[in-house]
Structure 1
Amino acid sequence: MIKKFSILIAGGGSTYTPEILILLLESKKSFPIRKIKFYDNDEKRQEIIARACALILKEKAPEIDFTYTTDPRKAFSDVDFVMAHIRVGKYEMRDKDEKIPLKYGVVGQETCGPGGIAYGMRSIGPIIELIDYMEKYSPNAWMLNYSNPASIVAEAVNRLRPNSKVINICDMPVGIEEKMAKIVGLNSRKDLTVRYFGLNHFGWWSDIRDKDGNDLMPKIKEYIKEYGLDTYKLDGKKEDESWENTYRKVKDVFDTDPNFIPNTYLKYYLYPDYVVHHSNPKYTRTDEVIEGREKRVFDEAIRLIKTGDVAHCKFKAGNHASFIIDLARALSYNTHERMLLIVPNHGAIENFSYDAMVEIPCIVGKTGYEPLSIGKIPIFEKGLMEQQVAVEKLVVDAWIEGSYQKLWQAIMMSKTVPSASVAKDILNELIEANKEYWPELK
């Protein structure tokens, strides 16, 4: 008898949840499902997304049992996979993460610099809570976690729940690899075999080949030298203005070490002055998302609820969804697929901190993951990574110990912050903004 799986999406009110649902339905033959559940602590927000998704399920897969709840026991009982993508504090707090640092001339970004640190401090407790619910009600389940900021969350999970069945992932490299596939004329990122090393949102591709072993790095590098990772000339697809700028800026980030292809987020650390200069302290990425993706998804959900018109549903599956379902399939069917995961280093990068949480290729099967050996990395990348991993460790220390000193150290150590005094001013304002979410600092 073919096993069918029960899936819980933690963060049921997320604008990404419909994407996951659509791809789960498209993947039914290769990944059979018996039950889908949504869980969120924001009942009103989840209600809208869930009612729209219920209509899609009724039309496309009525055999799948669907429920949504704010009750942890109902949500986490009888589950094979928890797909977690929560945003603690929602857009109200993301707005502060971005705008408070910008007041001080510092990068305002949701996962990088002081904003990412603030978000990490909010996220640690709720993620640990989800893990504890899973282990209490479905102890054999896997949690596939891609809640941001993934680097800090992964460090905290590894430290606080080291034996839990949790795999931390990020979809950003997946999106970049789709662009690379376009650049070299391939159909999909799955036609690529990559070597990558770094931390989450802080890494480099060192080797990219097609399935026949042909080296694709020279062609991709030539494209990046001229266009960065902006692929508009290839596919005609427009991005939000902030993302277009980010993809174009890869051209300059690449110049810092042309041996490797950089993750887009490195612009925040290597060109923070440029980022601040091109930022509007009164209109940030949060505003873009609220007026763009947030509005599109909720408008479509409300339209579906009012009309029941599933035939013209505008929800589409995306990279964000495909990666997490590929991972669930690899764990279920022992496919030994090669995937980029955020895992303890444990010597995979030979000359880097043993206990750092690194993002590297792993082979995934029924028992979990097996990291691939990276070997030694150059001193430039190693130095940048050591500084950034120290930031992440200090944030988790600060959360565990309730330490003002260590959180101040974390912010002043971030490459996005120019001085200890600026770090202190930002921290004091972030403490006031996050008093409902952070542990008390002493």
Structure 2
Amino acid sequence: MMVKVVTIGGGSSYTPELVEGFIKRYHEFPISELWLVDIEEGKEKLEVVGNLAKRMIEKADMPITVHLSLNRREALVDADFVTTQMRIGQIEARILDEKIPLKYEVIGQETNGPGGLFKALRTIPVILDIVKDIEELCPNAWLVNFTNPAGMVTEAVLRYSNFKKVVGLCNVPIHIRMQIAEMLDVEADRVHIDFAGLNHMVFGLHVFVDGEEVTEKVINRVTSKDNKMSMQNIAALDWEPEFIQALQAIPCPYHRYYYKTREMLEQEKREALENGCRGEVVKKLEAELFELYKDPTLDIKPPQLEKRGGAYYSDAACSLIASIYNNKGDIQPVNTRNNGAIASLPDDSAVEINCVITKDGPKPIAIGDLPVAVRGLVQQIKSFERVTCDAAVTGNYRTALLAMTINPLVPSDVVAKQILDEMLEAHKAYLPQFN
């Protein structure tokens, strides 16, 4: 069969990860056309990344045709899978998302707190426009979204469109599984984790090796100073052992922003003074990566890409796509409609949870209520996500202020309003719904 994949945001530095994943899985996912799509401002990066993709495929001797396009509608015609990996406002918008909150003694982070709010406000209207094009030009395609904040993007598509063939994906759960496998010195495919929660707010409730539960053992390892359990983009501050032992769940790296707020804020402020905020660091990394990508002799994904923070991205993405295509029925953690799987959250909300992956999409595995110790925080973040999606669609100032204020990283309504007003002004070019 001929399989067509369209990647919107094809000029991303992550694209070589995705191409590597398609090459590795060609035997089970015979992609014939890969369309890399970007906007005019990303034309140069698209050409650089696209040429690297072509060299990688040529080296692998795969019959995959790569198309580069600035015309999204042209590319989408008759697609089988559409992937999205965009940054509206590019890296400069991320830098503003991180630096402005710090001025008010609030964590500045890409997908959490005020930064997550504004990334969602910029991104959701664009994603909903893409969904309209998909419904018209390739209505049978699956939309696999990697764009952060992935949970809110998935929530918005499910809630504000009639398109239901959408799955949100994040590399955090697979990153956790890989780290636990390394910690236990076992192969990753022997490790199973019961994941449940929200994107960047997911917990590992139970851990198994070869079917035997080892949760307590892993919790004890996670709290040791030799096992940081973090990611490139998040400071690996130590957990208080007694806290994690009492929690009785494996936190994800992003939980540090909520359980170690003061320490993470101080860490961010120090790093911003010494090396710049994370967005500024990423800007330098990306400049170095694209210089590597330009090398006409480079025909592999360079190892330096791991510093960007996208480890296992291609494994998660291509594994999901191949499982839908082949109706595998295997278990993977994704963002999808809850449908009662987590009793503590509304049925119609997007959640991040283990699912059985079929040709008809993810089927969430019911876990009942979340443990009482984590339930309240997850519900508060879901309230924030729901209100944020509403603000993104309506452009209502008061709704945006409400979302900012109920986020647990923002200390008061006064501070929320100050940050909101400054960020609305800073990002006004990408927020036409508020203008």
TM-score when normalising by structure 1: 0.90
2:27 to 18, 26, 29: 29
Correspondence 1:320 to 2:318:
no
- For 1:351, the equivalent position in structure 2 comes to 344
Correspondence 1:300 to 2:292:
yes
Q: 1:4-403 counterparts in 2 under 5 A? A: 4-41=2-39, 42-61=42-61, 63-188=63-188, 190-211=189-210, 213-227=211-225, 229-230=227-228, 240=232, 243=234, 245-246=235-236, 248-250=237-239, 255=244, 257-280=246-269, 281-282=272-273, 283-292=276-285, 294-304=286-296, 308-310=297-299, 318-403=311-396
How many residues align? The count is 425
Q: CA shift at 1:88, angstroms?
A: 1.1
Q: CA shift at 1:58, angstroms?
A: 2.7
**In structure 2, do the counterparts of structure 1 residues 225 and 314 end up closer, same or farther at CA, with 3 Å as the change threshold?**
closer
CA separation in 2, counterparts of 1:39 and 1:391?
31
Correspondence 1:434 to 2:427:
yes
Q: CA shift at 1:386, angstroms?
A: 1.5
Cα shift readout 1:63-83 (whole Å, capped 9, x = no counterpart): 221111011232112321112
Deviation larger for 26-35 or 144-153 = 26-35
Q: Letter of the aligned partner of 2:254 in structure 1?
A: Y
Kindly report the root-mean-square deviation, in angstroms, between the aligned alpha carbons of the 2 structures: 2.2
- Does the aligned pair in 1 maintain the 2:20–2:301 contact within 8 Å? no
Q: SS of the residue aligned with 1:59?
A: helix
Cα shift readout 1:196-223 (whole Å, capped 9, x = no counterpart): 2111111211111123x11121221121
Q: Letter of the aligned partner of 1:226 in structure 2?
A: S
Q: CA shift at 1:337, angstroms?
A: 0.9
- Does the aligned pair in 2 maintain the 1:156–1:396 contact within 8 Å? yes
Give 5+ residue unaligned stretches, structure 1: 233-238
Q: SS of the residue aligned with 1:218?
A: helix
Cα shift readout 1:114-172 (whole Å, capped 9, x = no counterpart): 00000000000111122222222222111111110112211211111243311111111
- Does the aligned pair in 1 maintain the 2:157–2:163 contact within 8 Å? no
Cα shift readout 1:398-432 (whole Å, capped 9, x = no counterpart): 12222111111111111101111000000000100
- Does the aligned pair in 2 maintain the 1:19–1:315 contact within 8 Å? no
Q: Letter of the aligned partner of 2:384 in structure 1?
A: V
Give 5+ residue unaligned stretches, structure 2: none
Q: CA shift at 1:176, angstroms?
A: 1.4
**In structure 2, do the counterparts of structure 1 residues 230 and 375 end up closer, same or farther at CA, with 3 Å as the change threshold?**
same
Q: SS of the residue aligned with 1:375?
A: coil
CA separation in 2, counterparts of 1:250 and 1:161?
41
Q: SS of the residue aligned with 2:68?
A: strand
**In structure 2, do the counterparts of structure 1 residues 295 and 251 end up closer, same or farther at CA, with 3 Å as the change threshold?**
farther
Q: Percent identity?
A: 28
CA separation in 1, counterparts of 2:389 and 2:300?
47
Q: Letter of the aligned partner of 1:422 in structure 2?
A: V
> Which 4+ residue blocks in structure 1 deviate beyond 4 angstroms?
250-254, 311-318
- Does the aligned pair in 1 maintain the 2:80–2:138 contact within 8 Å? yes
Correspondence 1:412 to 2:402:
no
CA separation in 2, counterparts of 1:114 and 1:54?
38
**In structure 2, do the counterparts of structure 1 residues 376 and 68 end up closer, same or farther at CA, with 3 Å as the change threshold?**
same
Q: SS of the residue aligned with 2:197?
A: strand
Q: Letter of the aligned partner of 1:17 in structure 2?
A: T
**In structure 2, do the counterparts of structure 1 residues 312 and 361 end up closer, same or farther at CA, with 3 Å as the change threshold?**
closer
CA separation in 2, counterparts of 1:9 and 1:378?
38
- Does the aligned pair in 2 maintain the 1:254–1:260 contact within 8 Å? no
Deviation larger for 57-66 or 386-395 = 57-66
Q: SS of the residue aligned with 2:295?
A: helix
**In structure 2, do the counterparts of structure 1 residues 27 and 316 end up closer, same or farther at CA, with 3 Å as the change threshold?**
farther
Deviation larger for 403-412 or 74-83 = 74-83
CA separation in 2, counterparts of 1:254 and 1:205?
15
